[in-house]
Structure 1
Amino acid sequence: MPSLNGAVVLVTGANGGIGTNFVRDALERGASKVYATARNPRTWDDERVVPLALDVTDPASIAAVVVAAPDVTILINNAGTNASTPGILSHTDEEIRTNVETNFLGPLFLARAFAPILAANTGSAIIDIHSALSWYAVAGIYSATKAALWSATNSLRLELAPAGVHVVGVHVGYVDTAMAAGATDPKLDPAVLVTKVLDATEAGEYEVLADDTSVQLKAGLSAPLEAVYPQLAAVRS
């Protein structure tokens, strides 16, 4: 079962509110080293933190990080982006590709790149940060990429389980970070989110429904589409 005590952790998107809490909480739980990655890594006040430059959309950058961090036991795919407006038809090619490459291909390619390293270590894990919106398509291209990551996480879990790599998928609504600054709905404290995620990981759980929004949306997956999306019923009337 994964443990943060003595673990070597790599966090993508470590500069943000969620990423920063992953770095700090991992250290508090006894991690021996944390690779804190970002496009422009910041400095940290703890010698156990190793800043690394990483662009999850760049294969060469991923390859370089694998070389620089050959001892990782826990990979946390936290980096993500969102579109400036909802919808899936209204965005430019560049906006669509940025969302796909950052939210889906980046985590998948990182998991593939680190899989041999993780499989060679006992107690290893991958943590993928999805979104409650992976189950609710109102965010358009963002929802689509998070739904794709959810599916990929399920596949990774099945493929890596025989090698002893534990894979955790995380669903959460709004989190009180810069990315959700414009949202007016209730927001989860990023420190609370990270505590829930790492508690679940160390308990050997496969999925984290971090807030009521995620619980409700998962429960709604079995409902008729008209119940999930009342807009459809309105069109018929």
Structure 2
Amino acid sequence: MTTWNTTTALVTGANRGIGRHFATELLARGATVYAAARRPETIDLPGVTPVALDITDPASVAAAAALASDVDLLVNNAGISAGGTLLGDLDAVRTDMDVNFWGTLSMVRAFAPVLAANGGGTVVNVASALSWFAFPGAGAYAVSKAANWNMSNALRFELAGQGTNVVSVHLGAADTEMARGLEGPKTDPADVAQRTLDAVAAGAFEVVVDDWSEMVKASLAKDPREFYERFLKA
């Protein structure tokens, strides 16, 4: 069971959206928080320690791990959706992979020794319902989040020996800037943070935040035609 007032967390992408809510909720629970962003001057949460961090820059990641050497909870929230399709702009595909997969993996590799030194702790990787399906116009993002999800599964094995748990978080659209142009229901990002931290405290492996994500995950056991025909006919 997590004792929040002895927890020290680092949250990436903490200047806005879900990351800001993670930092806010952690503070409310009594944790010490490093709030990381490429532009730390945009972090306006009293009580956090701002950290300059670009997760795609190895030197920046190494500097953050050296600075935040007391961390026992790493929340890999930073992500991007460059709007790439697999047969479209290859730079956009690479951007999604560089941030959502390679950048997240770089953070885990840098902080794994830190977590080990501090008793094991937990890694949280914010993935997506799009880890489990593809949607027209969002192919690159879906592939990058699928890689993120199975990275969490693989890391769970590799980090088990040092006592580090890995939690993968899946949701549909959240009411954030990234989803501003999307229609339909959107999850309150505060709920994402609260449900995820409750799962961390319970030692869970995975958080399925909303009904849409539960439906998508359940569809994996069925014939994919049933799921995808709704999009192909649109």
Instruction: Tell me the TM-score normalized by structure 1.
Output: 0.92
Check 1:98–1:195 CA distance in 2 against 1; reply closer, same or farther (3 A cut): same
| Poorly superposed stretches of 4+, deviation over 3 Å | 231-234
Percent identical across equivalent pairs? 47
- Secondary structure of 2:49's counterpart equals strand
- Count of equivalent residues: 230
Counterpart-to-counterpart distance in 2, 1:60 and 1:94: 22
Residue in 2 aligned with 1:110? 107
The offset of 1:112, in angstroms, is: 0.8
| CA-to-aligned-CA distance 1:17-59 (integer Å, 9 cap, x gap) | 111111111011111x21111110124353x411011111111
> Amino acid of the residue matched to residue 103 of structure 1?
N
> Amino acid of the residue matched to residue 6 of structure 2?
G
Q: Are the equivalent residues in 2 in contact too, given 1:170–1:208 (CA < 8 A)?
A: yes
Residue in 1 aligned with 2:117? 120
Instruction: Tell me the TM-score normalized by structure 2.
Output: 0.93
Residue in 1 aligned with 2:214? 215
Residue in 2 aligned with 1:182? 181
> Amino acid of the residue matched to residue 86 of structure 2?
I
Verify: 1:96 aligned to 2:93, yes or no.
yes
| CA-to-aligned-CA distance 1:55-83 (integer Å, 9 cap, x gap) | 11111111111111111110000000002
Residue in 2 aligned with 1:24? 24
Counterpart-to-counterpart distance in 1, 2:112 and 2:178: 29
- Secondary structure of 2:112's counterpart equals helix
The offset of 1:84, in angstroms, is: 3.0
Counterpart-to-counterpart distance in 2, 1:13 and 1:211: 22
**Structure 2: runs of 5+ lacking an equivalent:** none
Counterpart-to-counterpart distance in 2, 1:54 and 1:84: 23
The 5 Å alignment of 1:65-76 reads 65-76=64-75
| CA-to-aligned-CA distance 1:180-216 (integer Å, 9 cap, x gap) | 0001110000001111000111011110000001100
> Amino acid of the residue matched to residue 129 of structure 1?
V
- Secondary structure of 2:4's counterpart equals coil
**Structure 1: runs of 5+ lacking an equivalent:** none
Q: Are the equivalent residues in 2 in contact too, given 1:66–1:114 (CA < 8 A)?
A: yes
Q: Are the equivalent residues in 1 in contact too, given 2:61–2:107 (CA < 8 A)?
A: yes
Counterpart-to-counterpart distance in 1, 2:212 and 2:92: 26
| CA-to-aligned-CA distance 1:128-179 (integer Å, 9 cap, x gap) | 0000011011120000000000010001111111211111000000000000
Counterpart-to-counterpart distance in 1, 2:177 and 2:77: 14
> Amino acid of the residue matched to residue 223 of structure 2?
P
Considering only aligned residues, what root-mean-square deviation do their CA atoms show, in Å?
A: 1.6
- Secondary structure of 1:94's counterpart equals helix
